[in-house]
Structure 1
Amino acid sequence: MSGISVGTHGNHHYLADKKSDVTKVDQVTDQALAKPNNWVSFTLQTPDGLSERKFQVKAVRQKDVPSGYKVEVRRNSVAGKIRHAFSLIFSSLKFCQADRQLGHFSQDLFSRYTFSQVAIEKSSMYLKPAIEHLFNAAQISQASQPFIDDHGHHVVMAPSQVIDKLNAQPDSKEPMAVVFDLDNTLYTEGDYDGSQTEKHTKSLDPELPSKLKTFRQKFPNAKLVVITQSPFMAKGLVESKLAHCGYEQGTFDVINTKGDPDFKVENGRSPANKGERFLAIAAKEKVRSNWSPQRVFFFDDTEGHLDDLKKASDELSAQFEGYHVQSSHHFVEHKRQKIPSLDNGPNLTKPELAKLTVTEELMAGNLKPEQLHRYRMLRR
């Protein structure tokens, strides 16, 4: 098995080839869990692609941690000795520093994969309706902290994890924008029975409404904004779904639906993407109250939209933090891909999804490699 390829984005490392690397990391994690307290060898390809580094990982049984395991990583004993000898000869502090960074990355990577596999295995002892695999508030709070992926965005299980961190900061009058997508970010995409009502909409982040109340008190000059792909003609339904999920009227300063005639860009043109829509919102707020954001936080389940908001924030000279939200991905894909456990593997309709009984292991196994990686990195 060739080495696990690693890339860098700034000071952050990430898996460079999700299609093959996720399988490799899963296999090494399986071996470590199958032989607890024993070292398992693996190889990393360096970010420049020119060399490899040999490491070992060990899953140590430990009762006082939620997963039941503590994960340790070290340089392969033989390779480490050889490399240490070279470092003494050439005083190669830079080489040692690079190895330490790869070691820290490996420690975090295999810890997250181990916690995920253990959590999914425990959950999969019981069959559940597919829609009950949505995370509740307790599971979201237990999720691993965000990490930075190859696009440079933070990957997070749910927005409330980030709002919690902001709420822990001192009160401030800093002008900032906290922007949310809706479908597959704050609530489920569409209704399971196919009807156009809010009745079957499920909240993906049940504690967020109360956390946003605290946020408003601490940051009075912040704007809470919704930018959704739902059409303008469905704005009433959007507001009903938000209310159904616990968001009071007035929680958000702006609810921008696609095609909203109140927000235009230059020459009266309709915005082409979420980035332009945010620029139109910012321009209107600038005229209305002389408000312009110094920081922008954006939560969406689609990388392209995150890229568009980053570009818009750069135009406003605002610091940007993009968060790729993952809470819905492990069950949403049932509607888009074939289910291997069903005869002929048909794509599921919404009513079929509502009736489907599965384990989380099957749900996670139905994800594409890059989606499974994000799920592994966050589920615990």
Structure 2
Amino acid sequence: MRALPNERAHPTELVGEPLTDSDVERPPVIRRTELVAFALVSLLVICVFAVLSAAKAFFLPVVAAFVVGTMLSPAAGFLERRRIPRAVSAVLIVTAVGAGVTFLVGLISSPVMQWSTHLPELADRFREKMHIFDRPLALWQELQNMLGGSSAFPTAPFQLPRVEWVQPALEFLSPTFAEFLLFIATLMLFIASWRDLRRALILTFTGHESRLRTLRILNAIEEHLGGYLLMVTSINLGVGAVTGIICALVGMPNPAGLGALAAILNFLPIIGPVAMFVILILVGLIAFPTLGEGLIAPAAFAALTFLEGHFVTPAIIGRRLELNALAVFIGLAFWTWLWGPMGGFLSSPLLIVALILRDHLWPPSEPNLP
């Protein structure tokens, strides 16, 4: 049966129209589970640091012993390869380090005790030198009065500040005898048993890949911390020796003690050189008759620390592990606030450990730039 003309079959054309997704619920940019996880991790970190601060008398010596022991482990391994038992190596290394620190402290304590017997005389001499600032302060006060501002400086001449800060400063700087004994005992035992601790930590994990990653992390931490201690100690001893030579050439009193103090303070990044610069200014103003002569040694020390901080240290340590200056400063401020001067000494090693853990646990990938 033939089809009628108006009934001829026309091919049906399907016109594709995009489906609107206005009714489809899109996932949020930040999921609730991610926000909860971030909040829980933040609370955990706050609780951990609160415990570290509250139990400082226990955690500071133990953490310091772990960090310093890891730094000294390569030396113990070197002695062990020379057929010296590791327990004996631990005693020898701790004794040698203690003797070196005692020698430097002895160089510093001798002039300090000598100067402490002449404090009234030194204070009068320093007060006489500070009279040169009386006229600039008076001019500044007159300028403020002309401008209608409040007086920022008193009309009386320069006076030395009171020394009520001495006792709190000593309590802040000096650890207790029990903390010192805990640090020494933990340090010796850690160095002596470091090999067994490594093995036990590696065998804690079951998978082969996890054990291999743990071994790489421990090797990297030991290598970088050992190299860091060796390089920083060498640089700081060089800074101390050059500072002593500068003080001797200028004619500063007790150049050996000032050089030892510069070497010790240089272990504290940023804060140590600034403190040493201030100390050299004070000693120079007291020891020399004129202001220009008293500022020669501080100016030379400032040039020395500039060269050391911008050229020597980055050229030596920067090749092994790059440390961001902002991260070093923030870590130094935080650990000094939490644990005092010893925390400032541990700030850079702890930052190195954190960077190593980040690189091995979360390896960096190529960013997808637009």
TM-score by length of 1: 0.21
TM-score by length of 2: 0.22
Larger Rg: 2
Bigger fraction of residues in strand: 1
